[in-house]
Amino acid sequence: MSSSEPTLPSSLRLTVMGSGTSMGVPTIACPCRVCHSSDPHDNRTRPSVLLSGNGQRAIIDTTPDFRFQALREKLDRLDAVVFTHAHADHILGFDDIRPFNLRQKSAMPVYASAETLAILKRTFAYAFTGQQAVSTIPQVILHVIEGPFELLGTLWKPIAAEHGEMKVLGFRVGGLAYLTDFSRVPEESKPLLQGLDDLVIDALRDEPHPMHQTVTQALELVKELRPQRAWFTHIAHDLPHRETNERLLREGFPNVQLAYDGLSFEVRA
Ligand SMILES: [Zn+2]
Ligand SMILES: [Zn+2]
Ligand SMILES: [Zn+2]
């Protein structure tokens, strides 16, 4: 894959790095049965996906579990980081891009909205002083997302969504849309969610939450958008994997399943 002329990929591969909510599952000190489940699908690290294509790899969000996720998936190269928003469960692994800086002898391209970049710079101020550091610090090339951009030899279209009061981004890449952490998709974003093969969306739990979709709300959106397949993510400990999948089937959604850590599938580019 060292050709200087990138050939457009016909397919990409998506790998779910983490499918859990902000505290992860199991949650620290929680006695509930999902947190003590013996089913490995009920172990959910913080939410992130990896996209591979054209010999390159881009990760969406660097969670507090990024190091563990990268080791688990034997990630030996990373070509870009894309951020959805700057909540702690999506950015706190940012410092762990350093091994890729060292190994690849280059700064990491980082794509995010201006608001997200501002919080990233504040949270990781030591990486943005512009001065030579005595120890290793993350080295980045910042790209402000203001519209579609190219990565992995294909076009990424940002999808604006609302996460409570906060503005967040999802991404449409070929036949895939990844939309974590949202409570509402504005009408103007819906054209970007038509004709999908795979829709990966926020479905926190059944109990309403001001910043996340419930299972029922997520299913309403699936009915409206009619993707070939839908995968729920950012899942809390309220939803046991196997039982929830059986319930989705019973309720007439054979094409909707909970995502899980390590899930991987081909995506139309
Ligand atoms: Zn989150
Ligand atoms: Zn629990
Ligand atoms: Zn969030």
Ligand 1 centroid – CA 135 distance (Å) = 30
pLDDT in tens, 32-86: 999 999 999 999 999 999 999 999 999 999 999 999 999 999 999 999 999 999 9
91 phi and psi angles, rounded to 5 deg = -120, -20
**Torsion angle, CA of 1/267/200/62, rounded to 10 degrees?**
0
Written as one letter, the residue type at 235 is: I
Ligand 2 centroid – CA 151 distance (Å) = 37
Q: How far is CA 94 from CA 19, 151, 224, in A?
A: 18, 19, 35
**Given this model, what pLDDT does residue 3 score?**
47
* Residue numbers in the chain where pLDDT is lower than 70: 1-9
Ligand 2 centroid – CA 34 distance (Å) = 6
Ligand 2 centroid – CA 202 distance (Å) = 18
pTM above 0.85, yes or no: yes
**β partners of residue 18:** 48
Q: Check if the beta carbon of residue 238 is closer than 8 Å to that of residue 207.
A: yes
**Given this model, what pLDDT does residue 127 score?**
96
Query: What are the percentages of helix, strand and coil residues in the chain, rounded to 5?
Result: 25, 30, 45
Ligand 2 centroid – CA 27 distance (Å) = 6
pLDDT in tens, 224-233: 999 999 999 9
**Given this model, what pLDDT does residue 1 score?**
45
Using the structure block, give the residue that is written with the tokens 């397919």: 11
Give the integer Cα–Cα distance in Å for 224 and 226.
Answer: 6
Ligand 2 centroid – CA 66 distance (Å) = 22
171 phi and psi angles, rounded to 5 deg = -140, 135
> What is the H or E stretch that residue 118 is in?
helix 114-123
**Given this model, what pLDDT does residue 146 score?**
98
Q: Check if the beta carbon of residue 257 is closer than 8 Å to that of residue 186.
A: no
